Amino acid sequence: MSEEATATELVKVDQSIFDAAGKVLAVHLSYSSRAAQRGRTPAFPSYFMKASSSLAVTGATVERPAGTELLAFEGEIALIIGTDARRVSIEDAWSHVGHVSASNDLGVYDMKYADKGSNIRSKSGDGYTPLGPVLLPAAALNPAALRIRTWVNGEIAQDASTAELIFSFAQIVADLSQQMTLKAGDVILTGTPAGSSVIVPGDVVEIQVDDEAAGLSTGRLSTTVIEGTETFAAFGNQPKITDADKIDAFGTAAAAGIDAPITGKQALTDEVKAKLLSVATATISGALRKRGLNNVSVDGLQATKGMKKVIGTARTLRYVPNREDLFKTHGGGYNAQKRVIDDIGPGEILVMEARGEKGSGTLGDILAMRTQVRGAEAIITDGGVRDLDAVAALDIPTFHNGAHPAVLGRKHVPWDTDVAVGCGGTTIVPGDIVIADADGILVIPPHLAAEIADEVVESERQDTFVFLNVKNGNQIKGLFPMNADWKAKYNAWVADGEPEI
């Protein structure tokens, strides 16, 4: 960067900018629209690195490697560090950003598997980080009101504002500076909003960043995709893709041409939820049994809120039996237990696998309170609970296997989250629909939720009709189950608005 550049000048991106970039750091997920596509909102930012040799100027071409299919663009705002930053505060972090520009975080998803999430080959190819055309002075910008747009072949693909960021630019800079010195010239890619997708040879991708209030714009960063001619050599990993890779690359299952399984959150609409909450768990159990699902109840637990009924989608936490060396590596600090509780949200139920072990607590009042504050619907554990009186006094219902004063580490190591777990004798998969009250806890596969909801409402209505007639002195024979005569009376009762009998 020219020494003559001041805080108000626009600096054209050239090779000197790339030479000054000691490292390129990138945020995995930072825009709420992208998080919604991914179906998860992280509690804190996470990162990966790209090679500085991947930087390229506007107007350059980028190869889609021969033998690959899934080259994807991601329009992003790039921060260029102006002065070294080490352990800076959020309040001070923005002052260490020198310039802002447009960037394209290109990646080939066919190679994503090869480096176990580090993105070395999928994201660091030559030309995979175009930057420019100019740098905007950070001091003249409002980082919370920048607009980023991406066009593919002249058609708008992304249009977002930094107002939707989950993590501010200042938080990202401060967070990264905790463990490394951000040197002047380093580049931080700050994540992409929804709308990124796959591009093919011949496509032209353009990205622009604006501070419209300040009247400043990067202009359009242009990159043209060309077909590579060299295949991957046999001595290294070969391209490979899965349906999950396709969905990630295209942004959605529909865009990828894949019929994605129905998730719990998709299935648990307000209408379905209302229907399921309106009936007894016994009625739902019968509907599940009719479909051959007999082992879908979480058994043997106590409820802190009596008959209060809750429903939500499962977030899971698995404990393994305590082993002292493993507890040292996995049990202390910000462990899996604390991470999932910090990340849980409204409409979700925390389900813990504790192997039925009653000999220690699996959480206490502080973590239960945090789960409540996060808006979760309930806590289910087949292990013990500490501070049971305090936990029971909270608004959030907790289903548990009894009280125990011992801390977690006496019996458990918090191991992993959002995996299939076994709780109270049944398997629960993340995203399963869980409905619970003191009568029982049931697991409903999401793809069955709508049809079961319709069926149980009708079944409950029929049970009400039978109950009222039995109460009125009618005999069971012919009524339960209903014969043709009683069925006709039932239909007339429904048509008449279900009056008192």
Share of the chain above pLDDT 90, in %: 86
Predicted local confidence at residue 262, as pLDDT:
80
Q: How many residues does the chain have?
A: 501
Domain locations in the chain as residue ranges: 11-254, 294-444
Indicate whether 416 pLDDT > 50.
yes
pLDDT in tens, 287-311: 999 999 999 999 999 999 988 999 9
Give tens-digit pLDDT for 104-154: 999 999 999 998 778 999 999 999 999 999 999 999 999 999 999 999 999
Task: State residue 2's pLDDT score.
Answer: 41
Give yes or no for residue 404 having a pLDDT over 50: yes
Under the banding of pLDDT at 50, 70 and 90, the label for residue 1 is: very low
Beta bridge partners of 222: 206
What per-residue confidence (pLDDT) applies to 8?
52
Vertex 236, ends 235 and 242: CA angle to 5°? 140
Average pLDDT over residues 353-358: 96
Written as one string, the DSSP assignment of 233-253 is PTTSPPP---HHHHHHHHSSH
The continuous run of DSSP H or E covering 122 comes out as helix 120-123
Are the C-beta atoms of 32 and 194 separated by less than 8 Å?
no
Is 361 a residue whose pLDDT tops 80? Answer: yes
Query: Would you put residue 357 in left (φ > 0), alpha (ψ -120 to 50) or beta?
Result: beta
**Contact between 340 and 370 (Cβ < 8 Å):** no
474/470 Cα distance (integer angstroms): 5
Name the strand (E) or helix (H) holding 463. helix 449-471
Q: In degrees, to the nearest 5, what angle opens at C-alpha 421 toward C-alphas 415 and 425? A: 130
Would the pLDDT of 266 be above 80? yes
Q: What are phi and psi of 340, to 5 degrees?
A: -70, -35
Contact 138, 79 (CB under 8 A): yes
Contact 53, 126 (CB under 8 A): yes
Q: Give domain 294-444's CATH number out of 3.50.30.40, 3.40.50.720, 3.30.70.260, 3.10.300.10.
A: 3.50.30.40
Least confident of 39-48, 161-170, 410-419: 39-48
- The span from the CA of 464 to the CA of 490, in Å, is 10
11-254: which CATH topology? Answer: Fumarylacetoacetate hydrolase; domain 2 (3.90.850)
Band (9; pLDDT cuts 50, 70, 90)? low
Note if the bond before 133 is cis, omega within 30 degrees: yes
Over residues 331-335, the mean pLDDT reads 90
pLDDT band at 202 (very low <50, low <70, confident <90, very high): very high
Report pLDDT digits (tens) over 420-466.
999 999 999 999 999 998 889 999 999 999 999 999 999 889 999 99
- For 205, which DSSP code? E
Question: How far is Cα 110 from Cα 116, in angstroms, rounded to an integer?
Answer: 13
